[in-house]
Amino acid sequence: METLQRKLKDLEDVSPRKKNVFLKEMNLSKKGYPELQIREHIEQFSMSQIGKATNNFHSQNFIGEGGYGPVYKGKLCGVPVAIKLLRPRGRQGFPEFQQEVVVLSRIEHPHIVRLIGVCQESCALIYEHLPNGTLKDGLSKGLPWRDRIRILAEQRSALAHLHSSRPRAIIHADLKLVNILLDSRNVSRLGDFGTARVVHMKPLDEDTVCRRTNPMGTIGYMDPAFLTTGELTTESDVYAFGVVILQVLTGLLDLNIIEQVKEAIKMDTVHSLLDTSAGSWPGVQAERLMQLALRCCNMERKRRPTIMSDADWRPLDILRTMASGSKSRRWSQGS
């Protein structure tokens, strides 16, 4: 690996803040994290390789930052990638790195982000680069309602894939707008599996997918039952998905969105909540989907719809059919 002096010379045109970030990441290799057994299809890269891919983490390649650490775009072997670096003393650490590698290395789905490789020296995660940002970004730019409905159908498909995985089901545990990423055609991928949990399924216990763990996730999306019992279930993901649906329909990001929607339904003013920046919604069907989303957010877990039940999700399927049958471009991606 290059010397520190050589690295510093290469970083002369980088802002002081970005240089400090880079130097911190360099020091991660000294922490002595245990080496993971990486599956063969996941590439392994060195710190020097990912440094070169990002032009030594130049500020122009900085995408954003989350609880895990900063994210940079770059190119590895000619392929556009997003490189997520572990921030020292951040809210997340090696356990989240380990969890994401374990979970994503065994998942393949068109609407779940693809893990391309890792850098064990720095606990860096390398994904396919999705240039259109997050679903939150899309909503702020007035994403059309047809695309919003398609994305919801895609994400229901992703959750169904996770929850029906056997013999170990997967609970995402942090579903939210900023963890749904969009490619150049606004096709969605579910990402950030650092807090995901793998639950072993017993052959005769198909109705209960549960794991006891410390409360985690994001306020506003967290299942109240999980907060009170410490029992993380697939219904916890359904609750978060209900919140996402309400946000996609209304464009509202308020923490009390559930109460706002309930009040609008009670006052028969649902049409006033629909996000007009998305275009002209099919009002009746949109209201039915809103009511389904409220069922997802029911305080009683067993009263929430099952993500795999087509009967439960008929309102979304009807809207998806209406959207794909319009004169706008069709989407061939499965959902």
Bridge pairing between strands 43-44 and 115-119: parallel
CB atoms under 10 Å from CB of 20, counted, come to: 11
Q: What is the DSSP letter of 85?
A: P
Number of H helices and number of E strands within the chain? 11, 12
Distance CA 210, CA 63 (A): 35
3 state DSSP class of 73: strand
Cα torsion 136, 240, 164, 303 to 10°: value is: -150
Active-site residue, 137 included: no
Element containing residue 246 per DSSP (H, E): helix 234-250
Q: Sort 124 into a burial class: Cβ within 10 Å, 0-12 / 13-18 / 19+.
A: buried
Element (H, E) at 135: helix 135-140
Q: DSSP label at 217?
A: S
Choosing from 174, 192, 237, 275, the catalytic residue is 174
d(CA 170, CA 59) in angstroms, rounded, equals 35
Cβ contacts of 269 within 8 Å, gap of 6 or more = none
**Residue type, position 262, single letter:** K
CA distances from 123 to 29, 83, 185, 230 (A): 8, 10, 30, 28
Residue indicated by tokens 């000619």:
78
Tell me the catalytic residues.
Answer: 174
